[in-house]
Structure 1
Amino acid sequence: MNIFIGGLSYGITDADLMDLFQEYGEIKSAKVIMDRETNKSKGFGFVEMEDDSAAKNAISELNGAEYDGRTISVSEARPREERPRRSFNGGGNRRSGGGFNRGGGDRRY
C-alpha cells in the first residue's frame, strides 16, 4: 500500500521516513518529494509498505502525530490524477491569420 505523508519539516530525508515507518512493517520504498528547481523538500512524501494491514496500522498510529516538531498527516495515497499536459507553444484557442483584409487593394482614389 502506498502512504501519503504531509506536513513534514523541510529537513526530512528519505532515510528519516524509512526510520519512522520501519517499526510498522517491511518498507518497499520511501521518498520525500523535492522541488525540481530548488532541490528542497516540498514538505510531503510517500512510503510504500509491503503489507496492507501494517500500512493501515501505521496510518492510524502516525496520523496527527508530531514528528520533528511538526504535526504530520498520514493517509492512504490516492492514485495520481491524469492532468492535461501543458504545451509550450503558447496555448490554445488562437486562430491563425489575424489581420483584417478589407479587400480592394488595387483601388484608385
Structure 2
Amino acid sequence: MLRIYAGNLPADTTEREFTELFAEHGRVRSIDLARDIFSGRCRGFGFVEMEGHEARAAISALNGYSLRGNSLRVNEERPRGRDKGGRRR
C-alpha cells in the first residue's frame, strides 16, 4: 500500500472529485483531503492510499495534470522529519 501526496489542488475540490480522479488508475483505498477548519474549502492538498502498482500508475499519469488551471503535484508521500534541513543530530 502506498500513500500518495497530491498538491496544488483547486480550493473547490470535493472528496468525490478527488476520489474519481485517482480511481481512473486503480482502486482507491482511502483519501484524506485537507480542509480549512472555518470555511470547509480544500487547503490545496490531500493524500490517497492505493496499491503499489496502481499508485505508481496514478503518480505517473497525474503529476503535472491540469485541473481547472492548476498543475497538480503528485508523488509518493515523504515522511516529515523534525529537522527540515535533513540533518540528523
The question of whether the paired residues in 2 share the 8 Å contact of 1:15 and 1:30 is answered with no
Q: Taking every aligned residue pair, what percent have the same amino acid on both sides?
A: 37
Unaligned runs of 5+ in 1: 84-109
Q: Give the equivalent residue in structure 1 for 2:69.
A: 69
SS in 2 for 1:24: coil
Query: Structure 1 residue 5 and structure 2 residue 12: aligned?
Result: no
> Between Structure 1 and Structure 2, which shows a larger proportion of strand residues?
2
Following superposition, the deviation at residue 81 of structure 1 comes to 3.5
CA RMSD of aligned residues (A): 1.6
The equivalences for 1:1-109 within 5 A come to: 1-49=2-50, 51-81=51-81
Following superposition, the deviation at residue 40 of structure 1 comes to 2.3
Distance, in Å, in 2 between the alignment partners of 1:70 and 1:59 is: 16
Max Rg structure: 1
Following superposition, the deviation at residue 56 of structure 1 comes to 0.5
Structure 1 outlier segments of 4+, above 6 Å: none
Unaligned runs of 5+ in 2: 84-89
TM-score (norm 1): 0.68
Following superposition, the deviation at residue 9 of structure 1 comes to 0.3
